[in-house]
Structure 1
Amino acid sequence: MKKAASIAYEKGRLLRDLAASNLVSAYSGYEKQPARALPMAEKLKEKYPDNYNFSFALVNIYSDLGRYEEAMAVVAEIGDKIKAGRPPYRRELWPRYHQSLGKISLDRGEYNKAAEYLKQALKDTAPYNNRVRAWALVRMGMIHDAKKEREEAEDFYRRALELEGAEGMAQRTAREYLEIPYSPPVRKENIERPSP
């Protein structure tokens, strides 16, 4: 499927945006190659500024790449649109907004701040938000793994797996981290430099 999407993106006109959307999802999610997804995600957001799915995808990609200020700028824009009630941005997107802030904070190593945002995302128990809740639960587990609190982490991963209608990348990630604990990546901004 990825090969067909790549061909459609490179050579097609009618299906180009659909192919780009599928490639963004594949590269930023399953393939864990956010740098490959970034140019397409930026173009999609620019072309479709009111498609919140493209905006949220761009937040995740920027955060995965350590480009936190850009991630925060996009998530702030999303928050402003939700607050203003600008269609299609509606209040049901608040949990997704908070989950995105939690992801950015987690990626920055700001675990307490991340947990607060993720708890806000978990307050909405409506079935249509089960995928958002699954990611919030997985990320809560990641926070506990990062703090070497394995039992608590496993509890959150199991809760993510129990959610109906949340199948996909979040539950796949929960299964992975139940087997092998999450370990935060070492980012260059987090490495202490030796004194000269």
Structure 2
Amino acid sequence: MEHWACAETTRRPTYRSLSAGRRAFYGLALGLLVLVPPDLSQADLWTDTRTLELVVAGTDHLINLDYDLAERTFARPDDVDQTGLLAPFYQAFVMLARLQEREPTRQEMDAFLAEMRTLTAKAEGRLTQAPEEPDLLLFLGMAWGSKAMIDGVLGNYFSTYEAIKRTKSYLDASLVRRPVRYDAYYALGLYNYALSRIAWFYRPFLHLALTPGDRERALRELTLASERGVAARMLAKLALLQIYAGSEKEFEKALPLAEELLHRFPGNPELYFQTALVYSELGRFPEALEVGRRIRANLDPGRYHFTHEMLPRYLQLMGKIAMDRGDYPTALNFFRQAVEQPTDRYAWVTAWAWTRTGMIHDLSGKRTEAERSYRMALAIKTNSIAKDVARQYLHEPYRKETVQRTFPSTRTEENTGSP
């Protein structure tokens, strides 16, 4: 469940193509869903405890992948919101989240964009009557940000940049008028982190249109939202987990987040894999293996949204843990099983299994076998950074003592290194 802010942007400033959208799509949907109950009328809905409870509950259901419960919960703000903006906004994201198990169609994403255009037009019409309303500005920031992400997936780059500019403008305006709306810092943190990850040679072009990103500021903003936010608190924690366990490689900071989120959302398989990887990276192998055991126990009966399609991902995870422990024969056995049952959805898992097999062969002095494994990884149809790693070690043998922990190993989308 990779956050869009964590997306690999070191080579190109683009978002996922439609063909790569399956895992990215859910990340985009959940990542941009800052489910705040904005004050869209004079009644100040923020003080209405019913609205707040519904929003927090709906967000929890969505993160836990309980889509039916989320859909029913998000239908209820209509009871207290007379604008008709809240319920359709939330429900549109439930629809997107349901599509995570398959490749979304162009028509489905176009339908989402049409819904966002309708909602932004309606909200901007109300803004002419209440231009200083901070929660209306916040809502518009969220809606435009959501549109930007899907436009990016579809390759509508001009629309993407325009929507991102509007997102930043509305969010900044909201905080100027109400600095204590800490949920807004979640979205601003994502903005700053995503743009800070753009490759340096693209930045001059992007900065002609967009405010530059700031990595340190992004982490401060996300931390503030995770500690003092209300509706976006769990989403901010999720973003920080994926950042610290991914591009930042600060596993000590990732661990308490992983443990808290897994305890709160046991229905989300991604959190099991994230937590196991964090434990393994920290050398806490008994805990990593225990989480692996829980994954295996959930796979067979299909509990907690686990599916048999995740089996190769589990095998690759267990191989990674064994590799971190230095148990190379066991690691090779798990990697072999993973590559013997590939799936289109988890093609990046197959790429990592081949790449890490090559790394072990390099450490064992079996250069010919290592080169073969790297070439097998490069032949996989995926955008995974595993292929970047394989390409590097195809030219220069892997040496653990000099390169250990160089590459992210717990990112969960197609082009990442998560197990």
The question of a shared fold, defined as TM-score above 0.5 by the shorter chain, is answered with yes
Bigger Cα displacement from structure 2, 56-65 vs 3-12: 3-12
Structure 1 stretches of at least 4 aligned residues deviating more than 4 Å after TM superposition: none
Identity among equivalent positions (%) equals 38
User: Does structure 1 retain, via aligned residues, the 8 Å contact 2:266–2:304?
Assistant: no
Write the mapping of 1:1-150 to structure 2, written as runs, cut at 5 A: 1=193, 3=218, 4-150=221-367
Q: Matched residues in 1 for 2:256 and 2:271: separation?
A: 12
| Bigger Rg, which one | 2
Question: Is the 8 Å Cα contact of residues 29 and 169 (structure 1) preserved in structure 2?
Answer: no
d(CA) in 2 for partners of 1:139 and 1:13? 41
Tell me the distance in 2 between the aligned counterparts of 1:178 and 1:15.
43
CA RMSD of aligned residues (A): 2.2
Q: Which runs of 5+ in 2 are unaligned?
A: 1-192, 194-214, 403-419
* Change beyond 3 A, Cα 1:176–1:48: farther
Equivalent position of 2:80 in the other structure: none
Q: 1:37 to 1:178 in 2, by over 3 A?
A: farther
CA deviation map 1:29-76 (0-9, x unaligned): 222221121111111111111211010011111111111100000000
In structure 2, C-alpha distance between the alignment counterparts of 1:13 and 1:171, rounded to whole Å: 40
Moved more, 122-131 or 71-80: 122-131
Structure that is richer in helix per residue: 1
* Bigger Cα displacement from structure 2, 52-61 vs 7-16: 7-16
Offset of residue 10 of structure 1: 3.5
Give 5+ residue unaligned stretches, structure 1.
Answer: 187-196
Shift in Å, 1:173: 3.0
Aligned length: 186
Given the superposition, is the C-alpha separation of residues 154 and 11 from structure 1 closer, same or farther in structure 2, using an over 3 Å criterion?
A: farther
Change (3 A) 1:40 1:87: closer
CA–CA distance in structure 1, aligned partners of residues 372 and 254 of structure 2: 32
TM-score, reference length from structure 2: 0.41
1:63–1:50 CA distance, 2 compared to 1 (3 A): same
